[in-house]
Amino acid sequence: MTDSGAKNQLWAGRSDGDVADITVRMGESISLDIQLYREDIRGSVAHARMLEGIGVLSAAERAAIEGGLRTIKAEIEAGNFPLRPELEDIHTHVENRLTELIGEAGKKLHTARSRNDQVAVDTHLFVRRASAELGAAITGLCDTLLERATQDQTREIVLPGYTHLQVAQPIRLSHHLLAHFWAFSRDINRFARAAETANDLPLGSGAMAGVNYATDREFLRRDLGFARIAPNSMDAVASRDHILDFLYACTVFMTHASRVSEELILWNSVEFAFISLPDALTTGSSIMPQKKNPDLAELTRGKTGRVQGNLVNLLTNIKSLPLTYNRDLQEDRFALLDSYAQTGMAIEALTAMMAGVVFHGERMRASLDRGFAQATDLADALVSERDVPFREAHHLVGALVRECVDAGTTLRKISAAARAGVSEYFADDEFFFRAVSLENSADKKVSYGGTGREALNQQIENAKHQRAADRAREWNAPDLEF
């Protein structure tokens, strides 16, 4: 809460600067965009250097500005930088403090720029940095998944693959883990695309029409490490495509993470009991001492809706805005910074869970037996080895499954007499047990990308190549030091 008589003389202009309390409270963004201080200060350093180059600042004034900005950066990082809501945003806070530190030279810094192109360059720099950080973190998650998928025990474990959450066919656990590996690898590409969208320099566009100075935008491009200069000043200050692409990348990652989390939650339950999670990654109940709750997985699943909402929030915000800048766009920081924070936590949590989870192979096998997962393989064996028409084979296997259900047993445990009572084809032990073997069922899937042993080995090699490519990726993250 601020004094309703507080005056923002820095931006008063034609106004007398007498700002009402509600104007201050509704208009401030400093409580959030203080997180952009590194990007804002680095953009100001580049701008000051450019102003010196075109003769607006003397060398002494530019040096004083850089020194003052370095002091401000240190104050923020030390927690000694007071935030004043009446100064609205990070840009005004920095410039106000700079003028306090170095006097009149500080007032020259805003020459040939607007807060419109200033916030644009800040968020462009942030998306480049954040995309690189999250992309690298997801690469680490993929490392963990691939490490678990290549372990001998994991390759040998056979578990149910599901459709409609019903037991469908046997698959190797490595194959299941690699399914998530490939999804997350695509997420890395999405963050790379967001970083590329943010690689156009908007600084120098002014409020929306350009500036009345022969500025050197090529110098700014090189100094800040951008690939290109935004070709249209109106689009440069109005567009939030770079943030939308970043939010989309966060949203798709979180959707993938939520699916993994849902599996961990189900598999950790007493009913499945496929896994155990480390105690450090679970919590107990305030009343039920037997509980071991998969909170990190649940929180990741819950935060997915929050991140999805941030994307929809900004899309809805932009959909009816006329060109160019409108104050509505101040909301972009909330979506951007929150999604960055939530996605980063989810990556960390998921990496820890996948590294520490213990898989219970025997429980997985038991579920396969109860779900009659080998039924399709038995029908296929009748077709390929006994020349039975598929429709008849389907009928015979279905009848055998019903016999198992009635007897309370499984395909691998039903008696020979019961099998023979359904069909003489099932009386041949060698044929029958080969057909209903869980390992054989998985390894029959010899097609490229399948769960069979040879196909799986090839997939692991492909995954190693993909991991190497992801690790070698050039992110062009901005250097915010000066």
Task: Give the C-alpha separation, 193 to 374, whole Å.
Answer: 43
Closest CA to 473 of 174, 222, 139: 139
Q: Is the pLDDT at 2 greater than 50, yes or no? A: no
Q: Which residues of 280-312 are buried (b: 16+ CB within 10 A; e: fewer)?
A: ebbeeeeeeeeeeebbbbeebbebbeebbebbe
pLDDT in tens, 31-82: 999 999 999 999 999 999 999 999 999 999 999 999 999 999 999 999 999 9
Catalytically annotated residue among 4, 15, 269, 285: 285
Strand partners, 166: 163
Q: Check residue 4 and give its pLDDT.
A: 36
Task: Give the C-alpha separation, 173 to 142, whole Å.
Answer: 16
pLDDT in tens, 254-280: 999 999 999 999 999 999 999 999 999
Q: Check residue 184 and give its pLDDT.
A: 98
Q: Check residue 290 and give its pLDDT.
A: 72
Q: Is the pLDDT at 189 greater than 90, yes or no? A: yes
Q: Check residue 289 and give its pLDDT.
A: 66
pTM equals: 0.92
Q: Check residue 5 and give its pLDDT.
A: 38
pLDDT in tens, 191-226: 999 999 999 999 999 999 999 999 999 999 999 999
Q: Tokens standing for 330?
A: 């101040």
CA 282 centroid distance within chain:
22
Q: Check residue 1 and give its pLDDT.
A: 30
Q: Is the pLDDT at 6 greater than 70, yes or no? A: no
Closest CA to 355 of 148, 166, 181, 193: 148
pLDDT in tens, 332-370: 999 999 999 999 999 999 999 999 999 999 999 999 999
Residue 214 identity (one-letter amino acid): A
Is 93 tagged catalytic? Answer: no
Q: Check residue 298 and give its pLDDT.
A: 97
Catalytically annotated residue among 31, 164, 320, 465: 164
Mean pLDDT for 467-471 is: 96
Domains (ranges, CATH) in the chain?
A: 19-111 (1.10.275.10), 116-155+172-360+461-471 (1.20.200.10), 367-451 (1.10.40.30)
Contacts of 21 (CB under 8 A, 6+ apart): 1, 2, 3, 4
Q: Tokens standing for 359?
A: 């898989």
